[in-house]
Amino acid sequence: MSSNPWSLSSHLPPAADAGDPTTGYPARIVREQLEEAERAQRERIEQASELNTPAMRIRAWERLHRLTLPRGSAHAVLNVIAKATRLTLEQVREEQRRRSEPAALPQALDSGGNPDADSGS
């Protein structure tokens, strides 16, 4: 048994008896529902934890709701995200801006650090 007080695992039905098909399906459904509830509870904790960065909190919100952060800076759901993640609206918009920036490509290392090294001089 887990020592986590938020864990629902201790309330799960016993594993289904492979020889009894009548108990297998209902037990599996109950187990899956409880596991989903436990996952959602972890995501709710993660989305509001001050130990996490704004990006981590927003990703937790996205996983919980199975949605992505909208791209529009005036989208109505931004206020909902800010409230759920305990971030300011400006922090949510900053994450939008960060995501909209093109990813920086790693610079190729040249021989000796001279930028003109591969220009044939």
Structural domain contains residue 76: yes
From CA 71, how far away is CA 36, in angstroms rounded? 28
Number of domains in the chain: 1
Structural domain contains residue 61: yes
Where residue 2 falls among pLDDT bands split at 50, 70, 90?
Answer: very low
Structural domain contains residue 111: no
Q: How far is CA 60 from the centre of its chain?
A: 3
Interior angle at CA 65, CA 58 and CA 78, nearest 5: 50
Structural domain contains residue 42: yes
Structural domain contains residue 93: yes
pLDDT, residue 119, reads 53
Average pLDDT over residues 49-74: 95
Average pLDDT, the chain: 82
Structural domain contains residue 89: yes
What is the domain range of residue 42? Answer: 16-98
Residues 46, 49, 54, 59: what is their CA dihedral angle, to the nearest 10 degrees? 10
What are the tokens at 38? 């436990």
Average pLDDT over residues 49-76: 95
The residue among 44, 28, 121 whose CA lies nearest residue 84 is 44
Where residue 92 falls among pLDDT bands split at 50, 70, 90?
Answer: very high
Structural domain contains residue 103: no
Q: Is the pLDDT of residue 1 over 50?
A: no
What CA–CA distances, in Å, run from 40 to 6, 30, 66, 75, 80? 11, 15, 11, 24, 17
From CA 68, how far away is CA 57, in angstroms rounded? 12
What are the tokens at 117? 């090294």
Q: pTM of this prediction? A: 0.63
Structural domain contains residue 112: no
